[in-house]
Amino acid sequence: MNAVSPIGYLDALNSAQRRAVTHGVGAVTASPLLVIAGAGSGKTNTLAHRVAHLMVSGADPRRILLMTFSRRAAGEMAKRVERITRKVLGEGAGVLTDALSWAGTFHGIGARLLRDCADQLGLDPAFTIHDREDSADQMNLVRHELGFSKTETRFPTKGTCLAIYSRCVNAERPIEEVLGQSYPWCVAWAAELKDLFAAYVDAKQQQNVLDYDDLLLYWAQAMTDPDIAADIGARFDHVMVDEYQDTNRLQSSILLALKPDGRGLTVVGDDAQSIYSFRAATVRNILDFPSAFVPPAEIITLDQNYRSTSAILSAANAVIDLAAERFTKNLWTDRAAGSQPQLVHVRDEADQARFIAEKVLENREGGSTLKQQAVLFRASHHSGPLEIELTRRNIPFVKFGGLKFLDSAHIKDLLALLRFVENPRDKVAGFRVLQLLPGVGPTSAQRVLEHMAQASAPIESLDSAPAPPRSGEDWGAFVTAIGELRAGSAGWPAEIERARRWYEPHLERIHEDASTRQADLVQLEQIASGYPSRERFLTELTLDPPDTTSDQAGVPHLDEDYLILSTIHSAKGQEWKSVFVMNTVDGCIPIDLGAGARDEIEEERRLLYVAMTRAKDDLHLVVPQRFFTHGQSATGDRHVYANRTRFIPNALLGQFERSAWPICASEDTRAPSGGPKVDVRAKMRGMWR
Ligand SMILES: Nc1ncnc2c1ncn2[C@@H]1O[C@H](COP(=O)(O)OP(=O)(O)OP(=O)(O)O)[C@@H](O)[C@H]1O
């Protein structure tokens, strides 16, 4: 055992943090706790200490449920817990933290519990999970079958249908209300949409697939049975939820059903950072939490910010102070003032890109690595011109929140194959895989799937399936490969290599750039080796796909230096020495919104606040004055003028230092000249006289 006193590891915490960490520890069961943790106030640190402290004080790690916003956050939390626990228990800490197996996202935990309790719920535990794109494809199939794709006036698209469905489910609100408030142009289709959703649910059940929403919906439904709720609730002594401001109604119902009296329940969040209402998250969850219990939950507020200089914090406070409704009080810091955040006016997006690239290099000359700097933007496509500029100058960067690694066609193909093997009734996966074979189109794929659907052993039935007419030898190779994969003879993760060997000839036939894509497949194989089974791999990857290739692969990039580009949403929970916020103009932040969307405007304000509070030492908000309009030729020069974001009105300008780039004397600052020094015209005339 280490010489540190058992409680010494809590000395570095401030008193509010320490109260949050030790709340109820040692009592038979802790009363419910809400930690309101402002930006940079050490929320993650505090939660990690609480988990460690519980374990050090004798709590069974297998009975701790920790739910975070992303899988990455769960992983980071587990590492921190281990570091802290190690200080007290030395080497023995590893055993404890390894046993902390119930750490993950709401959806991931839901999937595990549903498989565990499948027989009680009438579910087949081999269900597969559809990601958003698969779900939209499934919705489209049903929409087509019901004849809605051929209506005279245009029926909502598959994406809109899925969004409406998802909103109803997650917000636990009737369709009429959702349509009236968020999709008024679809109100006339309410009856058809209900039929569509009913058929969509049937199709998923026939195929034994669950979509993202089902993971929460089925879990919540399961919890309405008192015996099942008691059984699941009794598995955990402590339930902790991070980023509670970004949970939805369904998640809060689940939580309250897990621990109806709130004992052992801790939620942590910040209402000022609630930015996921488009996924039906509601800030009401955090506000209503204390009064859900009798006696009400204890509230501990963390309001000391350790991250930012006081000049940055003061500007961020001023921005959020203008919010219509707010519950946390302003943060304070004892960090030095530092320089004021800069509002930098540039001519257009091209200048914005040049400015950022130059400044980033200048910072690097000054001793900051690229990784200590981040460029944040509201929408993924905003970074286009910057990506070009960085590439041109050879400045390496990694982008978060853009096109996901797993969205590429070849990765989706290979995953669909594995999913089809896992659950041969999964039509969306089957449809995709079969059409990889030469000569197989939707009709012959459909015929094979129907044949399989009628068989009790679908994969085995492939032997007697009608071979698609033009698939030739590839059909036999496909049936053999899929049979071997299903039998699992190679074992996991070796079987992914078998899958890849089957897929590679098709990859080469379908894609011209097959060799670059092959490298991704090898990388996928590496990622797969980090999971214990095919089922876990597919589940976790579908639920929380890596943002970028390097996000998962990590290791080869660790020593390299690169600039971070990120959407504001994906920057949540992170911090950098220098932060640049692009396009700080109306129309970008707030993003273009219809009139009357007050709640959405408020959320945009919080987004700017989240972006600003990511900065430790310096912050630049860049304001391009004009934007080229889309839909014109490359040489066209139509543009629109932009205004500084409404979230920084004139009254707040004192919080910022303003400048223009490139630096040139503007007209009104040029010194009056007192008339021309040389009368050139007179000289010219004099030449000939
Ligand atoms: N008691 C403390 N003493 C010194 N530094 C601390 C303390 N608590 C936290 N910090 C530091 O403050 C910074 C912010 O902490 P952390 O990332 O946990 O904040 P957070 O509350 O999760 O932030 P956000 O909600 O904005 O993402 C980190 O650099 C962390 O090391």
CA of 306 to the centre of ligand 1 (A): 6
| CA separation for the pair 281, 130 (Å, rounded) | 21
Percent of residues, the chain, with pLDDT higher than 70:
87
pLDDT at position 236: 96
pLDDT, tens digit, 9 for 90 and up, residues 430-471: 989 998 998 888 788 888 988 998 888 888 998 888 888 777
Nearest-atom number in ligand 1 for the CA of 44 is 18
CA of 323 to the centre of ligand 1 (A): 24
59 is in an annotated binding site: no
CA of 547 to the centre of ligand 1 (A): 24
Q: What is the DSSP string of 411-423?
A: HHHHHHHHHHHH-
37 is in an annotated binding site: yes
pLDDT at position 372: 95
Among 17-21, 355-359, 526-530, 549-553, which is the least confidently predicted range? 549-553
CA of 601 to the centre of ligand 1 (A): 28
Nearest-atom number in ligand 1 for the CA of 614 is 26
Q: Which residues, listed in sequence order, are joined to residue 332 by a DSSP beta bridge?
A: 304
40 is in an annotated binding site: yes
42 is in an annotated binding site: yes
| CA separation for the pair 237, 60 (Å, rounded) | 8
pLDDT, tens digit, 9 for 90 and up, residues 25-84: 877 667 899 999 888 999 989 999 999 999 989 899 999 999 987 877 888 888 889 888
CA of 522 to the centre of ligand 1 (A): 37
Nearest-atom number in ligand 1 for the CA of 41 is 21
Q: Is the pTM of this model over 0.90?
A: no
Q: What is the CA radius of gyration of the chain?
A: 28
Average pLDDT over residues 116-120: 91
Nearest-atom number in ligand 1 for the CA of 613 is 26
Judged against a pLDDT cut of 80, whether residue 108 lies above it is answered with yes
CA of 275 to the centre of ligand 1 (A): 20
| CA separation for the pair 41, 469 (Å, rounded) | 65
Tell me which residue has its CA closest to atom 26 in ligand 1.
39
CA of 166 to the centre of ligand 1 (A): 34
Judged against a pLDDT cut of 60, whether residue 684 lies above it is answered with no
| CA separation for the pair 166, 136 (Å, rounded) | 11
- Mean predicted lDDT score pLDDT of the chain: 84
pLDDT, tens digit, 9 for 90 and up, residues 161-171: 888 998 888 77
461 is in an annotated binding site: no
Tell me which residue has its CA closest to atom 16 in ligand 1.
42
pLDDT at position 298: 92
User: 184 or 240: which carries more pLDDT confidence?
Assistant: 240
Residue type present at position 105: T
Average pLDDT over residues 215-220: 91
Tell me which residue has its CA closest to atom 23 in ligand 1.
40
What DSSP character marks residue 644? B
Judged against a pLDDT cut of 70, whether residue 408 lies above it is answered with yes
CA of 152 to the centre of ligand 1 (A): 56
Average pLDDT over residues 75-100: 85
Among 66-80, 256-270, 273-287, 377-391, which is the least confidently predicted range? 273-287
- Token look-up 């690229």 returns 370
Q: Within the chain, what is the greatest distance between any pair of CA atoms?
A: 111
| CA separation for the pair 609, 270 (Å, rounded) | 12
| CA separation for the pair 470, 453 (Å, rounded) | 22
User: 149 or 634: which carries more pLDDT confidence?
Assistant: 149
Tell me which residue has its CA closest to atom 30 in ligand 1.
42
319: nearest Cα among 602, 510, 123 = 602
Confidence of residue 544 (pLDDT cuts 50, 70, 90): low
pLDDT at position 672: 44
Q: In sequence order, what are the residues at sequence separation of 6 or more whose Cβ sits closer than 8 angstroms to the Cβ of residue 470?
A: 438, 439, 440
Percent of residues, the chain, with pLDDT higher than 90:
37
Tell me which residue has its CA closest to atom 7 in ligand 1.
42
654 is in an annotated binding site: no
675 is in an annotated binding site: no
What residue ranges line ligand 1, CB within 6 angstroms?
Answer: 12-14, 17, 37, 39-45, 270, 273, 306-307, 573, 575, 613
CA of 574 to the centre of ligand 1 (A): 10
Contact 485, 416 (CB under 8 A): no
Task: Give Cα 457 distance to the centre of its chain.
Answer: 38
Pocket test for ligand 1, best of 241, 271, 306, 570 (most atoms within 8 A of CB): 306
pLDDT at position 669: 39
What DSSP character marks residue 304? B
327 token code pair: 């519950």
24 is in an annotated binding site: no
pLDDT, tens digit, 9 for 90 and up, residues 368-393: 999 999 999 998 778 878 888 888 88
Task: Give Cα 275 distance to the centre of its chain.
Answer: 11
Our CA angle for 315, 321, 326, nearest 5°, is 140
